[in-house]
Structure 1
């Protein structure tokens, strides 16, 4: 009877004894190094030592996994180099925007003489005051502050267009072919006044229909970018005359060459400062340039060479599965702008600046897009604004 009772007791162990037996069996069979010492009958000191070692290793693994997870949260998209090169003719030639530092023809408007009259407290006629106020929106170095607030009519753009300098281009060649400069460069309104741009998209392809346009600025006529888009690039069967223009080969022989002229009589050092010449901005064809922020200078009587090294980033469609907040970027179809048809980082920043200015000032700067017909222009302590009524 005693033997049978002992056998039954052995065959029906308690719960804790079963767990201990399974744990010892697991320790003997597992491939985890050092784990088998937990189940063996060893001293408590030795067991404690191996437990500490195992805990440290486990903690290190948890920390490493956490760092990898946090890195994935911060930047889930990995940028890698392509396995093959991209031909240069698959991307557009950059847009080139050129802004003369001389803003007016001195025969039509002499800003230095007008500044001298103001400094000497001489009385101006209404016409002189009107033109001076208009040009004061563009000139930033006259060192003279008029009355606090001015309100202008909507002929601001017509006035600066009427008094601008003569067309500054003397010679133009693209890919070793001499071209009429007026066919390459068209006038555009920027934060530096009237500039001239090459290879930009037409204003109807950049701005939405609700945006008010002025005169023929940034108007390409019948030229459109039907054979190119931001997602797919150029089509497979397009010809050599596709727009935006592209360079078929690299090197100086396939470059854009221009000669710029500036009349000595039109130099004005009170409008933009002592440095005369031209500002040149290189940008993508679908982006509105900001020559006051990003440019390189072309001085007078000098030759300037600019080499361009494009960086092209292709995004896999599998990236769309991630939330834009995690991947920190948008596909063009995911973000709709109020003023622009094409989403780019710089267009988005310009729109944000426009909305911010409109919200806090009730007006926008003269070069900013607007969905309403301009009513008045406001100048307040060197800030050129276009007044818009609040909704």
Structure 2
């Protein structure tokens, strides 16, 4: 065999420098990419350091029953409205029909108030001095129909208490709501909380039955730790003699104690005791929205709708 002879390969110096530059750039890009991936993972961990896990021990699951807010479609009793006009303005239908009709339409608008539909209709009353000293909330309560809702629950040993609340869609009633305190309409009455209804996960006899009796009622079903707001979608309307049956599936989310040490920006949620402000010593999405709309009304109008004047801790 003939011995092989390795011959040296000579490369132009210009090409050599180009090759070195290309490899240097590739190495630098690879290093920069590795650093970028590491920093991205670190940033993601700092922003979302939460791991979701599921527990399937259904036998020990007890869930809180939903809250129910009920609002009459017609929230003005004509007989009570007639009495209120005579009481507040000393006007009767016989003495001054035009003035009586004027105040009657005002009370009708006041009773049917809604944050997102008819607030603009109050502008025509803004210069009426006869309305300046009227407590609008008390007037709305005065003409509201008498409560005619009968309720039956699966827990016969627990008494159900309807709480009168003033919402962004007018006067309503609610039960099994922890946060109804911040919509309590009876400002001269001390707030008294009640234990929430609970159901076992496997219970097939967990129910609430509400009879509307003689008036059409609009129902809002929501969390006991939430309120009904202007943007809440009603679950349904029930007229006299009708029946609405709704089945619910409970999904309960709990946070581990270590999650509390994270910032609200990291966990993207707040605990109920992380107050919105000193005036609202609780937190929920609906309370936060209501608080923002209240501040916007004060900012742009210098006043706020009467349904934002709440009882309980809200005014303190």
Could you tell me whether the CA contact under 8 Å between 1:200 and 1:285 is conserved in 2? yes
Give the drift of 1:126.
4.7
Q: Give 3-state SS (helix, strand or coil) of 2:244's partner.
A: coil
Question: Structure 1 pair 45/147, CA: closer, same or farther in 2 (3 Å)?
Answer: closer
- 1:227-376 to structure 2, matched below 5 A, reads 243-250=195-202, 253-263=205-215, 277-290=216-229, 293-300=232-239, 301-335=241-275, 337-369=277-309
Matched, 1:162 2:142: yes
- 1:11-26 to structure 2, matched below 5 A, reads none
Q: Give 3-state SS (helix, strand or coil) of 1:356's partner.
A: helix
Question: Structure 1 pair 146/347, CA: closer, same or farther in 2 (3 Å)?
Answer: closer
Equivalent residue, structure 1, for 2:165: 188
Could you tell me whether the CA contact under 8 Å between 2:187 and 2:310 is conserved in 1? no
Could you list the structure 1 runs, at least 4 aligned residues long, displaced by more than 6 angstroms after superposition: 43-49, 141-146
Q: TM-score, normalised by structure 1?
A: 0.57
Could you tell me whether the CA contact under 8 Å between 1:188 and 1:194 is conserved in 2? yes
Give the drift of 1:343.
2.0
> Structure 2 regions of 5+ residues with no counterpart?
1-15, 83-95
CA distance in 1, matches of 2:250, 2:59: 11
Equivalent residues, number: 276
CA RMSD across the alignment: 3.9
Q: Give 3-state SS (helix, strand or coil) of 2:163's partner.
A: strand
Give the drift of 1:368.
1.0
CA distance in 1, matches of 2:121, 2:21: 82
> Structure 1 regions of 5+ residues with no counterpart?
1-42, 111-122, 226-242, 264-276, 373-391
Question: Structure 1 pair 360/130, CA: closer, same or farther in 2 (3 Å)?
Answer: same
Give the drift of 1:71.
2.8
Q: Give 3-state SS (helix, strand or coil) of 2:219's partner.
A: strand
Q: TM-score, normalised by structure 2?
A: 0.69
* Per-residue deviation, residues 267-319 of structure 1 (Å, max 9, x unmatched): xxxxxxxxxx4321122334332266332222435432222233333223333
Question: Structure 1 pair 364/108, CA: closer, same or farther in 2 (3 Å)?
Answer: same
* Per-residue deviation, residues 234-292 of structure 1 (Å, max 9, x unmatched): xxxxxxxxx112123556521111221335xxxxxxxxxxxxx4321122334332266
Could you tell me whether the CA contact under 8 Å between 2:66 and 2:221 is conserved in 1? yes
Question: Structure 1 pair 244/154, CA: closer, same or farther in 2 (3 Å)?
Answer: farther
Matched, 1:80 2:52: yes
CA distance in 1, matches of 2:102, 2:196: 42
Equivalent residue, structure 2, for 1:62: 35
Q: Which protein is bigger by CA-based radius of gyration?
A: 1
Give the drift of 1:61.
1.9
- 1:66-145 to structure 2, matched below 5 A, reads 66-73=39-46, 75-85=47-57, 90-109=62-81, 124=97, 126=99, 128-139=101-112
Q: Give 3-state SS (helix, strand or coil) of 1:157's partner.
A: helix
Could you tell me whether the CA contact under 8 Å between 1:207 and 1:341 is conserved in 2? no
| Structure (1 or 2) with the greater helix fraction | 2
